[in-house]
Amino acid sequence: MKIQGKVWKFGDNIDTDVIIPARFLNVSDKEILAKNCFADLRPEFGGSVAKGDIILGGSNFGCGSSREHAPLAIKTAGIGVIVAKSFARIFYRNAFNIGLPILESKEAVEAILDGDKVSVDLITGEITNVNKGVKYAANPIPDFMRAIIDAGGLVEYVKKQ
């Protein structure tokens, strides 16, 4: 499965309050969450992100609280995959639980620029900067985790079992 889109690049320690500010936590409509994703850091994100776009994050992406609102807002906004140097463990688990693919690649994050067009192969872990024709490696998502993503998240996966 390949995902291709424009890169939205973020730095280190992007916490869940930055991803979806606390003032939106009383909202249950995931479309409203998506429109307000990164509202304080990159206000243009919610209105400009396109289906299949890709987030690149630094170290400890998704740190902070355990709220599922953060990966849900990102996924509903249209992001196809997040590639980061590393993820906070609870965000990592929450992302897979809601069916949002994530990969770790320090090399790709350091080299790819905001706005570049990138292709990510979830099966092989290959990340290609389409603008420059340069390829980077990430550990591919294991088959059983990809099955959760393909089902649309853990709840849907369990229902199908």
Domain boundaries, the chain: 2-155
Per residue, the 3-state secondary structure of 131-152, as one string, reads CCCEEEECCCCCHHHHHHHHHC
On average, the pLDDT of the chain sits at 95
Q: Kindly report, residue by residue over 15-68, the tens digit of the pLDDT.
A: 999 999 999 988 889 999 999 999 999 999 999 999 999 999 999 999 998 888
Domain covering 2-155 assigned CATH 1.10.10.10 in the classification = no
Tell whether the model's pLDDT for residue 75 goes beyond 90: yes
- At residue 102 the predicted structure's pLDDT band, cuts being 50, 70 and 90, is very high
Helix (H, G, I), strand (E, B) or coil at 113: coil
DSSP character string of 63-78 = BS---THHHHHHHHHT
What local confidence, expressed as pLDDT, does residue 1 receive? 84
